[in-house]
Structure 1
């Protein structure tokens, strides 16, 4: 059995990214090309963030190296909008469940999908100002989320990551988190611009 943990994937991926950024920095410096450290750091933060999302979404993965594995076992997935959200909310307000169980279910199904994508909405316009447009940011978030859900479904179907399903509500929550991050970015830079003008 071969297993890849989120931490292992992140560390394996981060090392070459750091090397590539350093190599580009050295080449630009030696060629006399001006380097904006803030812009480069933002790009690095964006790539590192994407790697964190991929690490948490796709791993751990356990691959059975025996000849008769993995086997294809199709899993159910939810394509009904708000079905999971309503179900989690009904559990949260039900009296028969413990408070710890309610918080864990709410955190795993709703809060995690919402808050994990707030940095995406904040980083996208920082990397490229075109993403100030809510429609463009929304399209990127939806496509990115759909790719994640498709890969998770494939992993579960082939027994690589049991317990991970595909849910349209995850895409909805990811989108809301991204737009919230974008609103925070707009508010932050609007406030910063106003302070500079007053100063």
Structure 2
């Protein structure tokens, strides 16, 4: 299925779209899965968006362990990969494809460090404040496993989860630099890979006081 600035493909990016994305300075990326435990709940869909708002949704088959073009994008150090709660998506990519995602920006971390005047750091709240757009989240908790029969509502939800991340990232960086918190935020980004490794080995609570 191909719509204006929205394309769905199977298993990996087509070469022409890969070439387009590989020239980008930043890409917004999100995943849809069967649940929140990578070791149990498989990856079903990967959404990517560039600065021009061109969205690609990659349907991932059950048991699939390779996506060479997607992997090249994730491993590229020259492309900033923007996630909302990167810790989960990066862990899912490592568990599914064995890939180390490089040059990561997490809008949830950036929001928590920049927007200390609020406790609302979900993507819906973030996009509503910074972009003036209210996201429809009704399809968030739905069956993403039947990738060949995703509803228009699911695809719309999936596309909107990446469509606004790049302008949100730009606004958060401006806030962080203004408040002298940008360097601290970058240090947090560099620690994401460590937390991913701990999560995948079921050591997610080692920094907690209890236990």
Normalised TM-score (structure 1): 0.24
| Bigger CA radius of gyration | 1
Structure with higher helix content: 1
Structure with the bigger RCO (C-alpha within 8 Å, sep 6+) is 1
Structure with higher strand content: 2
Normalised TM-score (structure 2): 0.23
